[in-house]
């Protein structure tokens, strides 16, 4: 009977085995097919490619990190091949960038991005790019076209071979041809991303509309000299700030950077050292693309935004330079009075002026086209109505330096031709927006600094609040004279450092801004630079990922003192968390629990103060929020409490409530035992891909998440999402240059060079980025030619 039973079961087992084998085979086949489908899209790295329009052959060598070293015999071929090579690695990113800046995302995504497109069509970055293009000399227009021709050569080839990046297949569209305006529009978007504080003006106007004057003014960065006059006029306008700007696209709160330069007298090599780590969004692929460009009379190595020719931050064999954001007030909101009998006319100096009317057609995937009517007054586009169709008797227009014609690309392409500070400074005359803190070093030993860009001088007012647009009282009367922009050359102290901090004292005769970054990164940089007589490249690299938290050092003793006075109100979990903080060394170390408690606490304090009073849609316009909350705490500690803290029963009550909310929140995330809490369990970097929001595409495109030290107040900058802890902001590019070897630089690009998911350079630099390691990029052809990835571009044989 036993044998018969086994025999009866065997056929079923056999068929199950066959079915299992078939399923496994299907999975293997699907996996291999998917792999082949992705692998066939990887860029050609060796052999020959023929493209139209080349004057001569061009050699491209990719080093071990995927950095292209492009050798051309003239600059036209150089930029053409730069366009092709960049598109090989970053075409989808480039296309998404130009669509975002141009307000064309809905054409390929659908209704989800309509409000975003409305905003950018209203703002008019592409219109500003068009106006700028006409200001460039013919030579630079040709360079832009050369780059575009290179991008288009790759697009045509990829279409013909069915090898467009996989993201285009997923979204079901093909990229349009690239144009010079696309490159300039991306540049305008970066100017917007680095801000000009219009959102702060809108937020402060909202405060005055909603709260009593004392309470509103408590959240101003400083009391404006003309406040009574401006506030009186503001109270008469009917623009609903909350409704008008609920869907506005605002730059990241912590956009900024670090840079510093050391003179030869403080350098172990006896030549200047320069370090730079620009802070922007962290994603896959990186916002920066590293490249080495070489042609007669033009050689430079560094990074550029994918989609733009040249190198914006880098070095030559003679000089090196780096940038951080000045963040000046270069945007003003004007309250415009509309003619009740003609909605397209606005009052100025007692007369009705016609606004310029622009009809923007927004294409929507799987939907009907939307025709957006944009009104542009003498001050700029009306931006208070992009999200709704109400036509009140007043509206708000935006005046901004970058909406005017500007010529940054000319400066970028002149930088590599500069041999010294005077020549570099002259190139800066063409760099208008965004205003940047440039630090500079050269082989002749010079170190220098300059806050460069167009910064307006106002007849009246100081950009604290929206101003009347119906009078000429608040017009701009020009820009800070170029010769009077903040500049420093070879200071006695032997170093210059910037971290978006205040760059001038009260004696400077011109207004720059009310909103500077909190000073902690700058203070820490100075502290470290002064610790040693002689500094090395390794010291620079270590400082770039420094995680010492000076904000905690300032505030934590005060917080602990307040909590210890309320011992009877502390629960067991509060007591344990308090012990973590008392033992903390102020390092935002991913393995420690104290940084988690402190940073969540610093988010809970404003939640306690403002929740239920300031709408979430308006909170995103709260320019300089962290610095203002810090000042509220300082004021109370100095015996000058403001109404927001008073209404909550004083600082002690605010801190206790925030502390207990913090501990409860962390307990939900990591359990009720504070000894097991870790900053890095919450604070993680994932370098999210734009399509990863659609599950399960995150499994394909996102690198694995990893714990990360640092925070938004440390030199090793790491801004994070308050809800998820995901690190989404920081320095995707870090560089150090020793001018004793100017042909070399130490760099890291997180997560990697390529946007092609199967590329070996897609996410290979993450570990180095997390741990402060960098690779050597060299201009020495004997070294970079050793990797074997050699691609030759030749002119098409028959044109």
Residue 247 in 3-state DSSP?
A: coil
In a domain, 57, yes or no: no
Q: What is the CATH number of the domain that holds 114?
A: 1.10.439.10
Judge if 211 and 151 occupy the same domain: no
Query: pTM of the full predicted structure?
Result: 0.92
Q: Which of 205, 257, 547, 711 is catalytic?
A: 257
Please indicate, yes or no, whether residues 242 and 158 belong to a single structural domain of this protein.
no
Q: Which whole number is the average pLDDT over 642-662?
A: 97
The pLDDT confidence band at residue 38, using thresholds 50, 70 and 90, is low
Domain span at residue 351? 198-251+330-403
- Whether 213 shows a pLDDT value over 70: the answer reads yes
How many residues are recorded in the chain? 799
Return the pLDDT at 386. 66
pLDDT of 225 above 70: no
* Residue positions forming the annotated binding site for Ca(2+): 329, 332
Is 745 within a domain? no
pLDDT digits (tens, 9 = 90+) for 679-721: 999 999 999 999 998 889 999 999 999 999 999 999 999 999 9
User: Crossing angle for the helix pair 594-610 and 651-670, nearest 10 degrees?
Assistant: 130
Share of the chain above pLDDT 70, in %: 90
Pick 135 or 228 by higher pLDDT. Answer: 135
Residue 19: per-residue pLDDT: 64
Is the same domain home to 216 and 364? Answer: yes
Q: pLDDT for 356-382, tens place per residue?
A: 999 999 999 999 999 999 999 999 999
Query: Dihedral (C-alpha) 661, 664, 669, 672: value to the nearest 10 degrees?
Result: 150
* pLDDT grade for 399, boundaries at 50, 70 and 90: very high
Residue entry with tokens 């041809």: 177
Orientation of helix 138-161 relative to helix 75-102, angle to 10°: 80
116 and 168 both lie in a single domain: yes
Asked if the model's pLDDT at residue 387 lies above 60, the reply is no
Determine which helix (DSSP H) or strand (DSSP E) holds 278, and give its type and residue range.
Answer: strand 273-281
**Annotated binding-site residue numbers:** 329, 332
Categorize the per-residue pLDDT at 799 as very low, low, confident or very high, splitting at 50, 70 and 90.
Answer: low
| CA–CA dist 409, 143 (Å, integer) | 10
Per-residue pLDDT tens digits for 472-482: 999 999 999 99
- 96-129 tens-digit pLDDT: 999 999 999 999 999 999 999 999 999 999 999 9
Secondary structure class of 19 (helix, strand, coil): helix
**Residue 577, φ and ψ in degrees, nearest 5:** -65, -35
Helix (H, G, I), strand (E, B) or coil at 71: strand
For the ranges 252-261, 281-290, 657-666, which has the lowest average pLDDT? 252-261
Q: Is 672 a catalytic residue?
A: no
pLDDT at 234 over 70: no
Question: What is the DSSP code (8-state) at residue 373?
Answer: E
Q: Is residue 676 within 8 Å of 594, Cβ to Cβ?
A: no
Question: What is the reported pLDDT for 4?
Answer: 42
Tokens of 759: 């590329």
Taking only the tens place, the pLDDT of each residue in 60-100 is: 999 999 999 999 999 999 999 999 999 999 999 999 999 99
Classify strands 447-452 and 487-489 as parallel, antiparallel or unpaired.
Answer: antiparallel
Give me the CATH number covering residue 228: 2.30.120.10
From 403, 428, 443, the end of a domain falls on 403
Average pLDDT over residues 753-757: 96
Do 105 and 116 touch, CB atoms closer than 8 A?
yes
Same domain, yes or no, for 177 and 204?
Answer: no
Is there a single domain that holds both residue 623 and residue 639?
yes
pLDDT at 42: 86
Number of domains composing the chain: 3
Average pLDDT, the chain: 92
Residues 211 and 226 in one domain: yes
Considering the domain architecture, whether residues 189 and 202 belong to the same structural domain is answered as no
Mean pLDDT of 436-441: 97
Check whether residue 186 and residue 207 sit in a common domain: no
Decide if 729 is inside a domain.
no
Task: Name the E strands within 327-393.
Answer: 331-339, 342-348, 351-354, 356-362, 370-377, 380-381
For residues 752 and 764, give the distance between their C-alpha atoms in angstroms, rounded to a whole number. 6
In the chain, count H helices and then E strands.
Answer: 27, 31
Q: How far is CA 337 from CA 169, 343, 441, in A?
A: 48, 10, 50
For residue 3, tell me if it sits in a domain.
Answer: no
Q: Which of 403, 430, 453 is the last residue of a domain?
A: 403
Quote the CA–CA distance of 532 and 520 in Å, as a whole number: 20
Residue 697 within a domain: no
The string of pLDDT tens digits covering residues 151-191 is 999 999 999 999 999 999 999 999 999 999 999 999 999 99
Residue 490 resides in a domain: no
**Same domain for 203 and 172:** no
Q: Averaged over 265-288, what is the pLDDT?
A: 97
In this prediction, residue 227 carries a pLDDT of 34
Q: What percent of the chain has pLDDT over 90?
A: 84
- 497: in domain: no
User: Do 187 and 211 have their domain in common?
Assistant: no
- Whether 226 and 173 map to the same domain: the answer is no
């Amino acid at each position: 009977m036993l044998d018969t039973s086994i025999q009866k079961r065997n056929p079923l087992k056999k068929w199950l085995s066959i079915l299992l084998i078939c399923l496994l085979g299907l999975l293997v086949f699907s996996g291999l097919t998917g792999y082949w489908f992705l692998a066939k899209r990887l860029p050609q790295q060796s052999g020959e490619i023929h493209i139209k329009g080349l004057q001569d052959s061009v050699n491209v060598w990719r080093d071990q990190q995927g950095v292209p070293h492009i050798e051309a015999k003239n600059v036209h071929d150089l930029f053409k091949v730069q366009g092709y090579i960049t598109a090989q690695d970053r075409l989808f990113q480039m296309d998404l960038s130009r669509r975002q800046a141009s307000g064309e995302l809905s054409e390929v995504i659908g209704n989800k991005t309509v409000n975003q497109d409305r905003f950018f069509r209203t703002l008019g970055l592409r219109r500003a790019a068009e106006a700028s293009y006409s200001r460039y000399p013919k030579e630079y227009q040709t360079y832009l076209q050369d780059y575009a021709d290179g991008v288009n050569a790759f697009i045509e080839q990829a279409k013909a071979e069915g090898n467009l990046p996989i993201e285009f297949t997923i979204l079901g569209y093909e990229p349009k041809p690239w144009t010079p305006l696309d490159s300039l529009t991306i540049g305008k978007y970066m100017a917007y991303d680095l801000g000009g504080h219009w959102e702060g003006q809108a937020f402060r106007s909202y405060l005055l509309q909603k709260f009593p004057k004392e309470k509103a003014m408590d959240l101003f960065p400083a009391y404006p000299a003309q406040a009574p006059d401006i506030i009186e006029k503001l109270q008469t306008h009917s623009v609903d700030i909350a409704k008008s700007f609920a869907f506005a696209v605002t730059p990241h709160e912590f956009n900024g950077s670090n840079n510093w330069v050391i003179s030869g007298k403080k350098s172990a090599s006896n030549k200047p050292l320069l370090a730079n780590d620009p802070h922007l969004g962290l994603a896959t692929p990186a916002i920066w693309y590293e490249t080495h460009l070489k042609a007669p009379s033009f050689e430079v190595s560094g990074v550029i935004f994918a989609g733009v020719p040249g190198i914006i931050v880098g070095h030559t064999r003679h000089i090196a330079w780096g940038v951080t954001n000045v963040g000046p007030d270069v945007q003003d909101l004007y309250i415009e009075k509309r003619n009740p009998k003609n909605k397209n006319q606005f009052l100025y100096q007692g007369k009705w002026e016609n606004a310029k009317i622009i009809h923007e057609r927004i294409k929507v995937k799987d939907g009907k086209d939307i025709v957006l009517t944009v009104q542009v007054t003498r001050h700029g586009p009306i931006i208070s109505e992009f999200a709704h169709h109400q036509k009140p008797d007043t509206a708000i227009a935006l005046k901004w330096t970058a909406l005017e014609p500007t010529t940054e690309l000319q400066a970028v392409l002149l930088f590599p031709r500069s041999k010294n500070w005077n020549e570099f400074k002259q190139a800066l005359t063409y760099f208008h927006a965004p205003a940047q803190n440039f630090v500079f070093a050269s082989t002749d030993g010079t170190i220098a600094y300059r806050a460069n860009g167009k910064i307006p001088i106002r007849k009246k007012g100081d950009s604290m609040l929206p101003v009347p647009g119906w009078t000429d009282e608040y017009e701009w009367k020009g820009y800070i004279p170029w010769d009077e922009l903040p500049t420093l050359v070879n200071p006695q102290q032997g170093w210059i450092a910037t971290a978006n901090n205040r760059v001038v004292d009260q004696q400077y005769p011109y207004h720059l801004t009310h909103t500077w970054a909190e000073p902690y990164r700058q203070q820490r940089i100075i502290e470290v630079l002064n610790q040693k007589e002689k500094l090395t490249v390794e010291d620079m690299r270590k400082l770039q990922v420094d995680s010492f938290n000076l904000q905690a050092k300032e505030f934590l003793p005060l917080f602990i003192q307040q909590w210890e006075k309320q011992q009877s109100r502390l629960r067991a979990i509060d007591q344990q968390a308090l012990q973590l903080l008392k033992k903390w060394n102020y390092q935002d170390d991913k393995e420690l629990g104290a940084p988690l408690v402190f940073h969540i606490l610093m988010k809970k304090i404003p939640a306690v103060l403002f929740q239920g009073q300031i709408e979430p849609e308006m909170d995103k316009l709260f320019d300089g929020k962290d610095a203002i909350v810090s000042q509220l705490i300082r004021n109370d500690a100095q015996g000058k409490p403001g109404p927001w803290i008073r209404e909550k029963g004083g600082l002690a009550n605010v801190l206790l409530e925030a502390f207990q909310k913090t501990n409860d929140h962390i307990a939900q995330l990591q359990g009720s035992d504070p000894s097991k809490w870790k900053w890095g369990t919450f604070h993680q970097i994932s370098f999210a891909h734009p399509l990863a929001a659609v599950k399960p595409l995150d499994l394909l495109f996102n690198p694995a998440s990893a714990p990360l030290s640092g925070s938004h107040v440390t030199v090793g900058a790491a801004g994070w999402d308050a809800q998820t802890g995901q690190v989404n902001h920081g320095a995707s590019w870090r560089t150090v240059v020793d001018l004793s070897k100017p042909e070399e630089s130490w760099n890291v690009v997180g997560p990697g060079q390529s946007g092609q998911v199967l590329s070996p350079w897609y996410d290979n630099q993450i570990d180095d980025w997390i741990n402060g390691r960098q690779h050597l990029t060299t201009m020495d052809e004997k070294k970079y030619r050793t990797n074997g990835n050699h691609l030759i571009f030749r002119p098409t044989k028959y044109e």
